């Protein structure tokens, strides 16, 4: 490994400040969906409209996110992120004021869509930067190990931010009013996303002309082996959204709705810890096996949740789900990385990130409606359907992945 001159490390290429910066730059995204829900419920006094607004944010992000990724692949991350940061902050501030105005609901929903559509895709952009640094600058023999560690770290970072984002929203809204989390997200976006955009790692390794020449055709993004990964990760988003909604409804029925976030943390923290441990797995435990094994944990945990009658059973169900969900996310991102067409790294990462947010927001809206109109026990079953969806996608992936190809099994 070490000859006369030590080989470069990832830290040397990124600098130490990169990781905390990329972590904080994710916060606005994690605060967005719950922040919008809190704001609209408070301003318009309708849980259903709140759920619809946060679903619209998710849909906006899922539809436009991959185009922001494609722009980053073609023109470089810096310009794509700077435009997104400024427009996103403006949309957030606009929403904070239109929610309390006399404007009709549809106008507010249009601004909510703009909030999602302009959301800077920090997580996918960070993954894409690190993947390209590993592929371009690290010695071949060290790449698989470092790639596994980086994708594990990135998933754990997402988990932590997605657990603490809603907690920060709750604290800010409780002490400073429902508008504060959205305005705080706008300020964080301007400060940290712009800093993230200007960080030296965003400077592309190739010129725009070189990138355009080596860019794989967009049609390659529609390969079944890549789309099945997008489907699987959308299922993970559905687990997140439906679990949080069911948990909120259950805790509300118990008379302690504020405890929902703490219980959700049981799944998130366990999930983050296990995501980190993925880099220790043997290469013989291949990606297609991992998908099915961890899907089984998610299925078991959500089956527990579906039949839960007490807070203890809920906690056990969430803990088991957490064992599966973190490593599953890392596995899906690893498959996405392995199957990315040339030059399309940021696009693929935003497709996967959009899958999570789309699954989360749609299942939150459906779960909220079912909890309100059918009942809590019906809402508790929804995450189990999401887990079944992940397992089916995993089985399809098994069929689409020829054994022995080495690259993506």
SS (H, E, C) 199-256: CHHHCCCCCHHHHHHHCCCHHHHHCHHHHHHHHHHHHHHHHHHHHHHHHHHHHHHCCC
Residues 6+ apart with CB under 8 A from 397: 225, 228, 229, 232, 288, 291, 335
Residues 6+ apart with CB under 8 A from 152: 275, 276, 277, 278, 279, 330
CA distance 191 to 117: 19
| Tens-digit pLDDT profile for residues 365-390 | 888 888 888 988 999 999 999 999 99
pLDDT at 3 over 50: no
DSSP code at position 82: H
How many Cβ atoms are within 10 Å of 212's Cβ, its own excluded? Answer: 13
pLDDT at 241 over 90: no
pLDDT tier, 249 (very low <50, low <70, confident <90, very high otherwise): confident
Model pTM score: 0.83
Walk me through the domains of the chain, giving residue ranges and CATH numbers: 15-200+207-400 (1.20.1250.20)
| Tens-digit pLDDT profile for residues 147-185 | 888 888 888 888 778 777 877 887 888 888 889 999 999
Q: If you average pLDDT over every residue of the chain, what do you get?
A: 85
How many Cβ atoms are within 10 Å of 148's Cβ, its own excluded? Answer: 17
pLDDT of residue 406: 45
| Tens-digit pLDDT profile for residues 190-232 | 999 999 999 988 766 555 555 555 565 666 666 888 899 999 9
pLDDT of residue 6: 63
């Amino acid at each position: 490994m070490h000859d006369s001159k030590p080989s470069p490390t990832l830290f040397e290429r990124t600098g130490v400040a990169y990781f905390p910066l990329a972590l904080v730059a994710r916060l606005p995204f994690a605060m967005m969906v719950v922040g919008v829900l809190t704001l609209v419920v408070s301003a318009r006094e309708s849980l259903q409209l709140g759920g619809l607004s946060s679903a619209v944010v998710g849909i906006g992000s899922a539809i436009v996110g991959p185009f922001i990724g494609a722009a980053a692949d073609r023109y470089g991350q810096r310009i794509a992120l700077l435009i997104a940061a400024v427009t996103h902050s403006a949309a957030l501030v606009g929403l904070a004021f239109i929610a309390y105005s006399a404007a009709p609901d549809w106008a507010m929903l249009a601004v909510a869509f703009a909030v999602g559509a302009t959301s800077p895709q920090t997580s996918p952009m960070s993954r894409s930067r690190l993947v390209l640094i590993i592929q371009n600058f690290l010695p071949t023999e060290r790449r698989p190990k470092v790639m596994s560690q980086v994708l594990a770290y990135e998933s754990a970072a997402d988990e932590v931010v997605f657990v603490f984002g809603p907690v920060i929203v709750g604290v800010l809204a409780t002490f400073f009013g429902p508008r504060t989390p959205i305005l705080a997200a706008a300020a964080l976006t301007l400060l940290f996303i712009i800093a993230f955009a200007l960080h030296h790692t965003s400077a592309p390794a190739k010129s725009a002309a070189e990138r355009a020449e080596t860019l794989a055709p967009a049609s390659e993004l529609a390969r079944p082996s890549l789309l099945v990964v997008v489907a699987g990760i959308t299922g993970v988003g559905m687990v997140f959204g439906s679990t949080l909604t069911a948990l909120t409804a259950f805790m509300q029925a118990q008379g302690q709705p504020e405890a929902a976030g703490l219980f959700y943390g049981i799944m998130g923290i366990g999930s983050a810890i296990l995501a980190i441990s993925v880099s220790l797995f043997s290469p013989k435990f291949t990606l297609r096996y991992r998908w099915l094994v961890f899907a089984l944990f998610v299925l078991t945990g959500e089956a527990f949740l579906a039949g839960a009658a007490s807070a203890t059973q809920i906690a056990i169900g969430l803990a088991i789900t957490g064992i599966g969900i973190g490593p599953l996310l890392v596995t899906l991102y690893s498959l996405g990385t392995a199957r990315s067409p040339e030059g399309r790294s940021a696009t693929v990462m935003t497709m996967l990130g959009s899958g999570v947010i789309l699954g989360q927001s749609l299942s939150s809206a459906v779960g909220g409606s079912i909890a309100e109109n059918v009942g809590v026990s019906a809402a508790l079953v929804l995450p189990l359907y999401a887990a079944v969806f992940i397992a089916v996608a995993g089985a399809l992936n098994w069929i689409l992945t020829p054994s022995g190809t080495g690259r993506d099994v």
